[in-house]
Structure 1
């Protein structure tokens, strides 16, 4: 064989990232090693696979052909590994989970329980924004995907496993802090800090505002929940975020949950996978355990009234 499976893995990573540096980081290799392997592939195949135009990398026509084949070959090997692992039950095997960034506060707890129950399973968790997760879904890179909302046009099977409560947060010295039963109309003149367009929390917030005839002023868009929390704490604006992402800040009074009528916005967490995909025993077991685990973010009998301080937060019971 003119090229190796390892070279196919490296080339696939570069093609997906469109960056030698990011591919090297994902593979735990050095950038020169990744670059050399791709150049050796090109020499063996007699075709340029990746070209640089300005500061960006692009696949050539030959590169697109090789990428398609690389995916088919590596997916076939993954299926073989999965089938062999299934023969051994849960004594060994692999589980690959991809989750949207907001879910990174909840999913590791579930995975921790799973790993303690099944120590022979090699577990990998990838966290990214919604766009990155859907790209991974399209490339069939993982076993299961954790999403807030599953797009209607996504050819997927999915299950709901928990609620995701979105709350309106403010710095503790905000004029609305401490007030009760704030009507949505009071938000008309407020400035907001929001996640990027297309994110689940941003879309849910926009639907709420539109339903109340509001057009909130967005001062800045930020690409992570951590950045949003810091911006709100600094007094740059209000925001709508998942309560689970801000438990510590609410508990310590860094942020305050405003009691605006209609909040919290109740959404669901979904676990999804490509329709028709054969789930390994490890994936099937995690799916079952996820659906039967104590629900994250359970609210009180008062349906989770606003919290300046939080007593109990998200958690997973032991085995």
Structure 2
């Protein structure tokens, strides 16, 4: 593979993301035959097929999946080098790639807007996904920084805490548990609306229920906080979510935080990057900005309404 070119890596990455030669060609402003030729040349260097087509669907082969990790690491390193040279030339340009867990999407744009106002020449790439995907992006160098509720334990990272992050049980105002003091055992037999496996919120909820021996009557899995909030408002059940996701609905009386002992559960927001990764000056400045201003800006963006605090177990 030593004779592979950066252009071939770029083409390979685009085809792998889209699983389509035509879409990759449009993105790269190339013809489809040119994309096909670059992939054929790369496959020749690898000595293995990188893609296979079943019917009309294109798939990565095992070799393609393995090469993709290396290709993205190479492309990320080149991008880092370009920005490092720009920084040494004294240019306030370049940028950074940031991944945020889906719960953080309620305030991440406000934080980025406040930060980038002081750096009009920079570019920021924002990726929103669940915790599992953001950790994969971090591990494979597809993002420089990540915002999440709990740093990974199976990857060496640096992290900085920038804000408190309360979670609570929520319900519609008409729910029988509304406006009364209750213990978590009151959730026994309740229908609980939950995030998908791989979500940090789901993992925290499962630990909390296990600690208190709570067995819900039914779990209904949903893939987004927005869908869960709509379902709770419709009376389908209760849920356990970050307080930072429900500020608007609480303020207009569509949802409320149940007054339950041992809640809200207090976590913290972290900005995380891989150990050994050399942050460029602009990314390092963002980390400092988050540490100094993150909590205040989150409060302004989401107007949370917690009803007490509890520290989550690690």
Normalized against structure 1, the TM-score is what?
0.83
Q: How big is each residue's C-alpha offset from its partner over 1:120-162, in whole Å with a ceiling of 9 and x where there is no partner? A: 1111111111121111112111111111111211121111111
The 1:209–1:28 alpha-carbon spacing in structure 2 relative to 1, beyond 3 Å, is farther
Give 2:215's aligned residue.
Answer: 215
After TM superposition, give the deviation of residue 186 of structure 1 in Å: 1.5
Verify: 1:161 aligned to 2:158, yes or no.
no
Which aligned pairs between 1:82-97 and structure 2 lie closer than 5 A? 82-89=83-90, 91-97=92-98
| Distance in 2 between residues matched to 1:28 and 1:247, nearest whole Å | 43
**Contact kept in structure 2, 1:90 and 1:118, CA below 8 Å:** no
SS state of the match for residue 179, structure 2?
coil
Which of 295, 305, 308 is equivalent to 2:307? 305
| Distance in 2 between residues matched to 1:70 and 1:205, nearest whole Å | 37
**Contact kept in structure 2, 1:92 and 1:122, CA below 8 Å:** yes
| Distance in 1 between residues matched to 2:73 and 2:191, nearest whole Å | 49
**Contact kept in structure 1, 2:100 and 2:128, CA below 8 Å:** yes
Normalized against structure 2, the TM-score is what?
0.84
Verify: 1:19 aligned to 2:19, yes or no.
yes
**Contact kept in structure 2, 1:170 and 1:258, CA below 8 Å:** yes
Once superposed, what is the RMSD of the aligned Cα atoms? 2.9
**Contact kept in structure 1, 2:233 and 2:254, CA below 8 Å:** yes
**Contact kept in structure 1, 2:93 and 2:123, CA below 8 Å:** yes
**Contact kept in structure 2, 1:100 and 1:133, CA below 8 Å:** yes
Give 2:225's aligned residue.
Answer: 225
| Distance in 1 between residues matched to 2:42 and 2:25, nearest whole Å | 25
Which aligned pairs between 1:258-297 and structure 2 lie closer than 5 A? 258-295=258-295, 296-297=298-299
Which of 30, 37, 59 is equivalent to 2:61? 59
Give 1:111's aligned residue.
Answer: 112
After TM superposition, give the deviation of residue 206 of structure 1 in Å: 1.4
SS state of the match for residue 117, structure 1?
coil
After TM superposition, give the deviation of residue 59 of structure 1 in Å: 2.3
Q: How big is each residue's C-alpha offset from its partner over 1:165-191, in whole Å with a ceiling of 9 and x where there is no partner? A: 111111121111122x21222211211
Q: Which runs of 5+ in 2 are unaligned?
A: 309-314
Q: Which runs of 5+ in 1 are unaligned?
A: 307-319
| Distance in 1 between residues matched to 2:151 and 2:235, nearest whole Å | 33
Give 2:71's aligned residue.
Answer: 70
After TM superposition, give the deviation of residue 60 of structure 1 in Å: 5.4
Verify: 1:44 aligned to 2:41, yes or no.
yes
**Contact kept in structure 2, 1:163 and 1:297, CA below 8 Å:** no
Q: How big is each residue's C-alpha offset from its partner over 1:51-81, in whole Å with a ceiling of 9 and x where there is no partner? A: 12364612253x3575355335423421321
Task: Provide the aligned length of Structure 1 versus Structure 2.
Answer: 296
The 1:56–1:278 alpha-carbon spacing in structure 2 relative to 1, beyond 3 Å, is same
Give 2:254's aligned residue.
Answer: 254
| Distance in 2 between residues matched to 1:262 and 1:64, nearest whole Å | 45
Give 2:128's aligned residue.
Answer: 127
**Which deviates more, 71-80 or 190-199?**
71-80
| Distance in 2 between residues matched to 1:166 and 1:214, nearest whole Å | 17
| Distance in 2 between residues matched to 1:171 and 1:76, nearest whole Å | 49
| Distance in 2 between residues matched to 1:149 and 1:10, nearest whole Å | 35
Give 1:314's aligned residue.
Answer: none
| Distance in 2 between residues matched to 1:130 and 1:72, nearest whole Å | 20
**Contact kept in structure 2, 1:166 and 1:241, CA below 8 Å:** yes
**Contact kept in structure 2, 1:10 and 1:34, CA below 8 Å:** no
**Which deviates more, 204-213 or 66-75?**
66-75
